């Protein structure tokens, strides 16, 4: 592979998170790292109380608002703690409303969120645990509580590769809380349908260490007494996410990536590319005569994280796939340790050409091993 603009021989990175960052963004960060905007300081050294950081913070919030058409009655926050921290923060900030919440447990991440929330109130799973991947019952059959504090679901289960093709409905005025960690900024959606949207940024929006949250004003003001200030949505909203020393570098990188998305053509272009990349990969899987198998039903297949098995789940063959891919400088394809197999993450910074290179490798790998192993069908 040729050297990139950042002067490094870049590999193809299909990691699930931290995910690939656009090279143009990395180059700009590099150029500003030692002397940010002629301050004589690195971006990692400036004060969070400075006018320079205030500008970074406000510009990132405004970019989110513009890209997602966020209504005026929502606050845009940057929080510490990552996704798992948010599992607790959501319950501590919102469960107090009625003492219970509905949870759509469709995969590992939503299951962990429900387990954490159960420490702070009553959690109602709206349907039994699915017997297999993507086996999600019709939403009309869900057991919903009209007095729930909120309905929680994960829009894209990163580990299994399950993405919801619809926004769940609730009863009465129950607000929807959604985890969009891995598919935020890959398509336009109606923010007003949600009470709270959150996404750790290290997949589509930056580097690990900060969570983007978009919360409706009427959901502020009822945190539990045990909720720490650093996870208190109301206190963070009142201080414009600068209650304590914020993760300045992470917010800075997120702002750069939001600018990059705008330059590329905004969410309309991101969605177009997302669909093209995932369709190319799923076509390769579907046309492989079951050499590659995706067990998620087609209507719930993720556009972002594509999980599949090789040779009916042949561990040795899957290890060969990962090793030989790395020999071709294609990295981070091993599936999550809880489900195994192969996982390909197609975040916004992953190009169509990157995906074409992977698909060609997959075809060559199949041709090499199709007839030399006993497939487990």
The residues annotated with a catalytic role in the active site are: 109, 179, 203
Structure tokens at 25: 């963004």
| Pairwise CA distance, residues 30 & 24, whole Å | 10
* CA torsion through residues 181, 191, 136, 346, sign: negative
DSSP H stretches of helix in the chain: 23-33, 51-68, 82-94, 108-117, 233-238, 248-264, 266-286, 315-327, 352-369
Q: Helices 248-264 & 51-68, crossing angle to 10 degrees?
A: 40
From the list 347, 341, 330, the residue with the least C-alpha distance to 376 is 341
Backbone angles phi, psi at 369, to 5 degrees: -115, -5
**CA 73, 244, 183 angle in degrees (round to 5)?**
50
**Distance between CA atoms of residues 174 and 238, nearest Å:** 24
Contacts of 109 (CB under 8 A, 6+ apart): 83, 154, 157, 158, 159, 179, 181
**Number of H helices and number of E strands within the chain?**
9, 14
Q: How far apart are CA 377 and CA 355, in angstroms?
A: 27
User: 3-state DSSP call for residue 211?
Assistant: strand
Q: How many CB atoms lie under 10 A from the CB of residue 269?
A: 14
Q: Are 154 and 109 in contact (CB under 8 A)?
A: yes
Q: How far apart are CA 137 and CA 342, in angstroms?
A: 26
């Amino acid at each position: 592979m040729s050297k990139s603009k950042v002067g490094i021989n870049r590999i193809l990175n299909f990691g699930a998170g931290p995910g690939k960052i656009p090279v143009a963004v990395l180059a700009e960060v590099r150029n500003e790292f030692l002397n940010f905007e002629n301050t004589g300081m690195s971006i990692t050294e400036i004060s969070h109380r400075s006018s320079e950081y205030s500008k970074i913070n406000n510009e990132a919030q405004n970019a989110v608002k513009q890209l997602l058409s966020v209504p005026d009655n929502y606050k845009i926050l940057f929080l510490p703690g990552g996704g798992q921290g948010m599992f607790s923060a959501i319950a501590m900030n919102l469960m107090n409303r009625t003492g219970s919440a509905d949870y759509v447990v469709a995969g590992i991440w939503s299951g962990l969120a429900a387990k954490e929330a159960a420490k702070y109130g009553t959690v109602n799973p709206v349907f039994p645990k699915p017997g297999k991947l993507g086996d999600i019952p019709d939403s009309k059959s869900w057991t919903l509580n009209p007095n729930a504090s909120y309905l929680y679901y994960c829009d894209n289960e990163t580990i299994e590769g399950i993405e919801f093709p619809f926004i769940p409905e609730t009863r009465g005025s129950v607000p929807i809380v959604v985890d969009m960690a891995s598919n935020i900024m890959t398509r336009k959606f109606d923010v007003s349908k949600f009470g709270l949207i959150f996404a750790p940024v290290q997949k589509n929006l930056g580097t690990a260490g900060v969570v983007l949250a978009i919360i409706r004003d009427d959901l502020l003001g009822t945190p539990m007494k045990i909720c720490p200030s650093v996870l208190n949505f109301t206190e963070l909203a009142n201080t414009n996410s600068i209650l304590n020393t914020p993760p300045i570098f992470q917010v800075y990188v997120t702002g750069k990536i939001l600018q990059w998305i705008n330059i590329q053509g905004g969410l309309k272009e991101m969605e177009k590319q997302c669909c093209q990349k995932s369709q190319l990969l799923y076509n390769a899987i579907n046309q492989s005569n079951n050499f590659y198998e995706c067990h998620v039903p087609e209507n719930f297949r993720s556009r972002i994280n594509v999980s599949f098995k090789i040779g009916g789940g042949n561990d040795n063959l899957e290890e060969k796939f990962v090793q030989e891919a790395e020999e071709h400088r294609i990295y981070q394809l091993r599936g999550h340790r809880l489900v195994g197999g192969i996982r390909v993450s197609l975040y916004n910074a992953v190009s169509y050409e990157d995906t074409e290179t992977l698909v060609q490798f997959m075809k060559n790998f199949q041709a090499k091993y199709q007839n030399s192993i006993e497939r487990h069908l």
